[in-house]
Amino acid sequence: MTHTLSATPTQPPQPPVGRLDPDPTPFANRRALILAAMEAAGGGALLLPTAREQRRNRDTHYPFRFDSDFYYLTGFTEPDAWLLLRTFAEPRAVLFCRDRNPEQEKWDGFRLGVERAAAALALDDAFSLDELDTKMPDFLASAANVWAPILEHEAVDARLRQWKSALERKTRQGINPPQAWYDARALIARFRQIKDRYEIACLETSAAIAASAHRAVMQVTRPGITEAALEGKLLATFRELGAEGPAYPPIVASGANACILHYVENRATIPDGALVLIDAGCEYRGYASDITRTFPANGRFSGAQRALYEIVLAAQNAAIAATRPGAPFAAAHDAATRVLVEGLVDLGLLSGEVDTLIAEKRHLRFYPHRTGHWLGLDVHDVGPYQIDGQSITLQPGMVTTIEPGLYIDPAEDIPRDFWGIGIRIEDDALVTETGCTLLTRDVPVAIDEIEALMRGG
């Protein structure tokens, strides 16, 4: 991916207010699919709030991140809003959002507002958030079923109970309250698990930006630089190339810090001879990338580092080959685990028959996590991994990470050369009709390619 900066200063184009994308069509299409699924299940209404701003300390707030399900169906990025979908009456798609407030917008930024929301988001109608409690019971009247986030947030649960009670008090007026309440998250997850074309395009862009950032960091790494400096380079490159920011707190772990799976302090000075493990991805239009690379700070793998790295890379290649339509999701993990255990036996770090070692879970000492997870609007995206105890079957449009690793803590039975080495290699894979496509291979994984990149090649 190339990024060109203008030679002369100009006024940058402003993003659409309350949205990351000015085109509401993909979100309207998803609402239509959800409404059809609701109709097939007996019809009714779906209620969904977005997130609220959270205070960090005193009058400072954490950066706001919208609820992923809410964004999936609306494209709306402001806090404090509710979506209503109905199968049985018009309007079918309604937003409750904050009113325009010029004084508040002077401090906190523009709001889309009630008057513009319906047209901008391709909804049927929009109302002020101040009208939510008075209008919602009437909108829910005659709903046979209701889908809502249940037992998730105390304030949301209280509001749902309030509306339910209001409906039950109207039975004498001939209004029948909903007969069943279902989990809206589970319904939406069925659709989010298989990505549409718009989502795939966003994931591809997110992956390309993250890959560029990883390459940039590898090229500036040297002994004596700090983990914090590398994190800063990552974050700056994400923003420079158009991402909203990181998809999760970056892991920049040098030396033995890489054996801490979710190390996020990122404060150490990187010594000569150490490996650097970077696990970092960005968000583009809400969609996450998730890349891990491990490379030597001085640009040259040692013998022990090389031996372990080659095992992890072989394990990842085996998992990639197992990621194809019709295969169980667990097949990639099983394939990677076998290669890792075989390699550990060859190095003398484990002893015994491979099948027995796997059955006894002896490898968990060196490989304590799974090989992948779903990826999408959330870095650990929604969707089941098993149904009725059986691994889910991969389908085209699913996106998963493939991330085997090895982590060698110091121990008397481990040769000292291997102590404190942590290695993980992670790519994002789109399941296709014939196999899978890696979205993140713009960052090298082969040892000779890594060393060449760090030399400036």
Residue 310 a catalytic site member: no
**Residue 228's CB: how many other CB atoms inside 10 A?**
14
Q: In what order do the strands lie in the sheet with 82-86?
A: 125-128, 93-97, 82-86, 45-49, 145-148, 180-183
Residue 373 a catalytic site member: yes
- Encode 414-430: b = buried (16+ Cβ within 10 Å), e = exposed: beeebebbbbbbbbbbb
Query: Given 3, 267, 380, 455, which residue is catalytic?
Result: 380
Cα separation, 301 vs 313, whole angstroms: 14
Residue 424 a catalytic site member: yes
Query: Given 67, 378, 424, 428, which residue is catalytic?
Result: 424
Residue 133 a catalytic site member: no
Query: Given 290, 378, 427, 428, which residue is catalytic?
Result: 290
Query: Given 309, 373, 427, 428, which residue is catalytic?
Result: 373
Cα separation, 221 vs 346, whole angstroms: 32
Cα distances (angstroms) measured from residue 268 to each of 32, 225, 261, 367: 50, 9, 16, 24
Exposure on the CB side of residue 185, measured as CA atoms within 13 A: 12
Residue 426 a catalytic site member: yes
φ/ψ of residue 371, rounded to 5: -90, -15
Tell me the one-letter amino acid at 148. Answer: A
Residue 19 a catalytic site member: no
Query: Given 55, 58, 59, 433, which residue is catalytic?
Result: 59
Residue 80 a catalytic site member: no
Cα separation, 33 vs 378, whole angstroms: 21
Residue 403 a catalytic site member: yes
φ/ψ of residue 60, rounded to 5: -110, 135
CA angle centred on 396, ends 204 and 314, rounded to 5°: 70
Residue with tokens 């901008």: 120
CA angle centred on 134, ends 131 and 136, rounded to 5°: 90
Query: Given 72, 192, 407, 427, which residue is catalytic?
Result: 407
Exposure on the CB side of residue 65, measured as CA atoms within 13 A: 16
CA angle centred on 24, ends 136 and 46, rounded to 5°: 30
- What residues pair up with 217 in beta bridges, in sequence order? none
- What residues pair up with 275 in beta bridges, in sequence order? 296
Query: Given 369, 370, 409, 441, which residue is catalytic?
Result: 369
Residue 3 a catalytic site member: no
Say if residue 109 is exposed, middle or buried (CB neighbours under 10 Å; 0-12, 13-18, 19+).
Answer: exposed
Query: Given 69, 78, 199, 279, which residue is catalytic?
Result: 279
Residue 407 a catalytic site member: yes
**Catalytic residues, which ones?**
59, 262, 279, 290, 369, 373, 380, 403, 407, 424, 426
